[in-house]
């Protein structure tokens, strides 16, 4: 449903007043709410399937320095209509639609990054994220959210390539909380993010479900390789991951003092 109407946070129906009969929760695509013959409590039009993606920072992997609070739930839908409406006819066309805007450029002044961003999916041979061939380019994971949308938007780039030398994210490990990140989009718009945390994870312990989460507060997640290097395998043993949040959501440390 991806690319479909934005997913709402997980919402639990109110079962406290639920008679032993049908409680129908109108799910994605069904705008308007619910029903039953009797007047049951109206429940939210939430995507129940996202209970799977509730991937609550799996493994409790809340990253260091996190001030990101759980998403606030949407208000309940209005009172129950007479009966459940059918899905909108345009469902078919919405199914594969992409996010409204796609990132095309990434700028991080603190580490001298000004790079083009292209959409990448999955390397079907390895099951890993597909990454740029050019050491100076940045990959956006196109199956997840775009930066600024709900969930974790992933931008990945090389720390280095033996064939090309140091990569555009060579200095990602130097980013620190408070550093600003700018993302430009294909519609000409631009959004700013603020680094909130940086963590180096052993590749075996990478919190993939958090990094690639499609629910939760908007997070921009920058990834490259780092840590120790296994020369014989020609690979790093870790990933450096930087979490940033939209500038407008950055918590103000102190109240404003005119």
Partner 1 sequence: MKRMKLALLVTVLAIVPATTAFAQSSEGEVIVVHGVPDLAVDIYVNGDLTFENSTFGDVFGPLALPAGDYDIDIYATGADPDAGDPALAGSTTLPAGAVATIAAYLEEGGSPTLGVFVENNSSTDAGDARITARHLADFGAVDILANDGAVWEGVTNGGGADTDVPAATYNIKITAAGDPGTVAFDADVPLGEGTNTIAYAIGSVEGGSFEVATAAIAGLHESPSGVPTGDAGLLPGINPMVPIALAGLAVAALAGSVVLARKER
Give the largest Cα separation in the chain, rounded: 68
Q: How far is the CB of 96 from partner 1 (least distance, A)?
A: 2
What token pair was written down for 3?
């690319």
181 or 197, CB closer to partner 1?
197
Q: How far is the CB of 42 from partner 1 (least distance, A)?
A: 14
Q: Residue 160's closest CA among 242, 240, 243?
A: 240
Helix, strand, or coil (residue 203): helix
Q: How far is the CB of 244 from partner 1 (least distance, A)?
A: 13
Q: How far is the CB of 257 from partner 1 (least distance, A)?
A: 28
29 or 192, CB closer to partner 1?
29
Q: Residue 216's closest CA among 252, 254, 243, 185?
A: 243
65 or 112, CB closer to partner 1?
65
51 or 189, CB closer to partner 1?
51
- Are the beta carbons of 121 and 108 closer than 8 angstroms? no
Q: How far is the CB of 146 from partner 1 (least distance, A)?
A: 14
190 or 235, CB closer to partner 1?
235
Q: How far is the CB of 188 from partner 1 (least distance, A)?
A: 25
Q: Where are the alpha helices (DSSP H) in 31-80?
A: 50-53
Give the single-character DSSP code of 70: P
Q: Which residues of 212-250 are buried (b: 16+ CB within 10 A; e: fewer)?
A: bbbbbbbbbbbbbbbbeeeeeeeebbbbbbbbbbbeeeb
Dihedral angle computed from the Cα positions of residues 159, 162, 166 and 172, in that order, rounded to the nearest 10 degrees: 10
What token pair was written down for 210?
């958090």
**For residues 106 and 112, what is the distance between their CA atoms, to the nearest angstrom?**
11
64 or 70, CB closer to partner 1?
64
192 or 229, CB closer to partner 1?
229
């Amino acid at each position: 449903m991806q690319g479909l109407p934005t997913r709402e946070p997980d919402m639990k129906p109110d079962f406290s007043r639920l008679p032993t009969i049908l409680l129908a929760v109108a799910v994605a695509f069904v705008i308007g709410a619910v029903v039953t013959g009797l007047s049951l409590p109206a429940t939210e039009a939430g995507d129940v399937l996202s209970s799977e993606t509730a991937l609550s920072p799996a493994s409790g992997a809340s990253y260091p320095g996190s001030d990101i609070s759980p998403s606030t739930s949407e208000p309940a839908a209005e009172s129950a209509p007479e009966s459940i409406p059918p899905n909108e006819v345009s469902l078919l066309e919405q199914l594969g639609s992409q996010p409204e805007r796609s990132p095309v450029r990434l700028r991080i002044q603190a580490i001298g990054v000004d790079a083009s961003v292209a959409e990448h999916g999955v390397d079907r041979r390895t099951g890993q994220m597909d990454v740029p061939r050019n050491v100076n380019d940045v990959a956006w994971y196109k199956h997840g959210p775009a930066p600024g949308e709900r969930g974790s938007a992933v931008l990945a780039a090389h720390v280095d390539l033996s064939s090309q030398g140091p990569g555009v994210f060579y200095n990602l490990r130097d980013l620190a909380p408070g550093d600003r990140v700018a993302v430009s989009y294909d519609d000409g718009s631009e959004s700013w993010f603020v680094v909130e945390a940086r963590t180096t994870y052993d590749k075996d312990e990478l919190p993939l479900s958090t990094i690639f989460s499609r629910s939760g507060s908007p997070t921009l997640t920058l990834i490259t390789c780092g840590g120790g290097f296994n020369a014989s395998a020609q690979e790093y043993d870790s990933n450096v991951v930087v979490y940033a949040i939209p500038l407008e959501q950055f918590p103000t440390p102190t109240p404003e003092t005119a």
